[in-house]
Structure 1
Amino acid sequence: MAIHRRHSRNLEGDSNEHELHAVTRSDDGTAGERAHGREQAQQEKPKKKMRMPGNTAFKQQRLRAWQPILTPKQVLPTLFLIGIIFAPIGAVLLSYSNRVHEFTLTYTDCDSLAPRDGSFSDMPTTAFEYPTFESYQTPQWTYFTNSAASNPSERQGCTIRYDVPGDMEPGVFMYYKLNRYYQNHRRYIKSFDQLQFQGEYRTAKQLDDADCKPLGKTDDNRPIYPCGLIANSLFNDTFSLPVQLNGAGVGGLDRTYNMTDRGITWSHEGDKYKYPDNPPAGEQAYVPPPNWAERYPGGVYSDEHPLPTLADDEHFQVWMRPAAFPDFSKLYYRNDDEVMATGLYEITVNMNYPVKEFGGRKSIVFSTVSWAGGRNNFLGIAYIAMAGFCVAVGLLFTLRQLIRPRRVGDLGLLSWNQPNVKSE
């Protein structure tokens, strides 16, 4: 019996051990599953983006640096050196700017102030400028109308007689100038379609949905070429070639001063423009912008009056480069070979472009150039002014250093070492 009970206890002990091992294995499995679940959850959880810069020398600003200690012995000679260098540069720029011959003829009010009977009268003093000539004859003008002209742009105009007081050496450039004309408005600058300029056919909807709106299509849903505000507002006053009067030509005849409108823009500017493709089947043909309609009978393009070749129209290319300021000049003619000799000249302007509605003015500018460019005194004056400023500041600090010098790095000048600073 004793042996039987001992054996039973052994069996019970073995059973308990098996149960303990089973429980342990069960607990280990559950813990493993939990750990695996946590790892999987951490992997699936999106990582939070860190705004901290990377731990590099550049991003943590640990690069080696050097900062000069500016002392009077370094600063004062530098100021005087800048003044010595800038002063002659400014003088040279100002001298060559003053050698440029230039005069301006403003014809805005020719239709209201000039006689209309073919006679000439003096222009008002506010309508012309001869800044580089000491003596000259007062320019004269007359206004004319010609309702019989087949070209609508030649039906009214102004003829101006002007004096060239001294020979103008080539190159001689003629500009038209506009005042109070703001081309730098964001909507105006963006108002064109580059794909259309590259020759790709653009539908009325495409143009109206793009930057050309509201001048991408007509009211009857026809696409406009060229579209946009810049093209529609193209300057359309035209100018004749200057003619020298009083028998200056061969045989006592008047002599035309030859000028050209070729080469008035950058050489690569024409590469931006291609002749437009024909419209696909079922699409509308292009029509001119509203302000161009008078030049095309019926306000449409035709075989007799085809679409303009913008790659060859340098006046259009010049206009399509908007000016940054409200007063600007754009090149119209040039002569790189012949002298514009002293004498009396005449030029005819066909007046079509409205400027009085916004209080603007329009003028003709004749000018030569130097190696430094056209007439512009600002750069020379700026150099001279900076030279004077540097020399004046240099003298001021030199006197300060002589009268009340101070030792560099003097700790006694720190704010907390001053006797009048109260400790808080």
Structure 2
Amino acid sequence: MDSQQQQDQKQPSSIGQAIKQQVLKAWQPVPTLNSTIILFGILSVYFLSMGIVLNVYSGKINQQSFRYDAFCQGYPICDFTIALDTNYTAPVYIYYQLDNFYQNQRRYITSKSVEQLSGTKGLGVDDLSSCYPVITNAQMNKTVAIDGTPLTPTDPAIPCGLIAQSLFNDTFDISYELNNGTLVQVPVSSQGIAWPTDLEVYQNTDVSQQWYNVTDERFIVWMRVAAMPNFRKLWGVINQDLPQGRYSIVITNNYDSSQYGGKKYLVFSTTNQFGGKNEFLSVAYICVGVASSLVTIGFCLKKYFSRAGPKKL
């Protein structure tokens, strides 16, 4: 190796030297009064426009909710009559709403076994500590599997945990009442109500050892816990138009909301390109748009008075 090559190896590259000395070329935006006015002006137009559009679209969504827990209190099955005040275009989504139910409690959220729900076999009681305090069939108060096989009280409950134990299990049979009083059954499907990503995760282990089918989409929807104490979860979808009129709802009243002072509602709703009815989102956009507009006006006034300047005597 000649001396020139040795000298080149000893000298650091210009890029490496620039990085070490922190002298690389850089660009940093320097906001001016004009650029700030333009930026906030664009933001105000965007957020106000989106807020108005969302508000208009949300107003076109048909939605009605009916509280039934007080009416059905003490009855295992009750016939609940409702009236839809407008025509509902398919698909019509059926939700149940629970008030004052805190699914976001720390112990409640962690009380499940992801491995068990994904179909992992051979999990014993010692492997299901995450399901505490509901691990065994005795603690779950279940004695029969979904195929009719008796369950051993000391065996692991499948599924285990507090979330599964508190599963919402009211059911609704909906019928349309014709003018002559005849009732026409309205089919409600539970297919497609769960997230596709969740459907890939939930797998049955052994139906002769399970007290519930974990691939049931209503169960999967329940297992995705809500962040707020008042929440709605999708129960089913009606793939036909619902005309305005009276409907008879036969409710199997299994879920006791009086234990925690809660309320139960049945909700009918349609959707649009932006999803379900969501007035909060449109109000939030409008508020941000108004705030941006006020900032824009403030900078415009600042620019105007800066140009005017003090008058010379």
TM-score range, shorter chain: 0.7 to 0.9
Matches of 2:48 and 2:112 in 1, distance apart? 45
Alignment of 1:191-230 (within 5 A): 191-197=111-117, 198-207=119-128, 210-217=129-136, 218=138, 221-230=154-163
Alignment of 1:173-192 (within 5 A): 173-192=93-112
The percent identity for this pair of structures is 32
Structure 2 length normalisation: TM-score? 0.80
Q: CA deviation at 1:187?
A: 2.0
2:235 corresponds in structure 1 to 332
2:146 corresponds in structure 1 to none
Paired positions, count: 279
Summarize the Cα distance change of 1:159–1:206 in structure 2 as closer, same or farther, 3 Å threshold: same
Matches of 1:230 and 1:60 in 2, distance apart? 57
Structure 1 length normalisation: TM-score? 0.60
In the TM superposition, what whole-angstrom CA distance separates every residue of 1:289-336 from its partner, at most 9, and x where no partner exists?
Answer: xxxxxxxxxxxxxxxxxx53322x111111111111111111111023
Matches of 1:58 and 1:373 in 2, distance apart? 49
Structure 1 residue corresponding to 2:201, chosen from 272, 286, 304: 272
1:281 corresponds in structure 2 to none
Summarize the Cα distance change of 1:277–1:86 in structure 2 as closer, same or farther, 3 Å threshold: closer
2:144 corresponds in structure 1 to none
**Counterpart secondary structure, 1:211:** helix
**Counterpart secondary structure, 1:104:** strand
1:402 matched to 2:295: no
**Counterpart secondary structure, 1:109:** helix
Q: CA deviation at 1:59?
A: 8.8
Matches of 1:374 and 1:211 in 2, distance apart? 34
Q: CA deviation at 1:110?
A: 1.5
Matches of 1:377 and 1:358 in 2, distance apart? 28
1:377 matched to 2:313: no
Q: CA deviation at 1:63?
A: 4.8
Which consecutive unaligned segments of at least 5 residues does structure 2 have? 1-15, 140-152
Alignment of 1:40-51 (within 5 A): none
Contact 1:201 1:276 (8 Å CA) reproduced:
no
Contact 1:237 1:351 (8 Å CA) reproduced:
yes
Contact 1:105 1:365 (8 Å CA) reproduced:
yes
Which consecutive unaligned segments of at least 5 residues does structure 1 have? 1-54, 113-142, 146-155, 279-284, 289-306, 408-424
Matches of 1:232 and 1:56 in 2, distance apart? 64
Structure number with greater Rg is 1
Summarize the Cα distance change of 1:215–1:175 in structure 2 as closer, same or farther, 3 Å threshold: same
Summarize the Cα distance change of 1:56–1:232 in structure 2 as closer, same or farther, 3 Å threshold: farther
**Counterpart secondary structure, 2:213:** coil
Q: CA deviation at 1:84?
A: 2.0
Summarize the Cα distance change of 1:158–1:72 in structure 2 as closer, same or farther, 3 Å threshold: same
**Counterpart secondary structure, 2:69:** coil
1:309 matched to 2:213: yes
Matches of 2:308 and 2:121 in 1, distance apart? 73
Equivalent position amino acid for 1:204 in 2: V
**Counterpart secondary structure, 2:130:** coil
More contact order relative to length (CA 8 Å, sep ≥ 6):
2
Matches of 2:242 and 2:162 in 1, distance apart? 37
Equivalent position amino acid for 2:257 in 1: V
Matches of 1:362 and 1:309 in 2, distance apart? 24
Alignment of 1:216-255 (within 5 A): 216-217=135-136, 218=138, 221-240=154-173, 242-247=174-179, 253-255=182-184
In the TM superposition, what whole-angstrom CA distance separates every residue of 1:60-80 from its partner, at most 9, and x where no partner exists?
Answer: 865543322221111112222
Matches of 1:211 and 1:60 in 2, distance apart? 52
Report the aligned-residue RMSD: 2.6
Equivalent position amino acid for 1:186 in 2: R
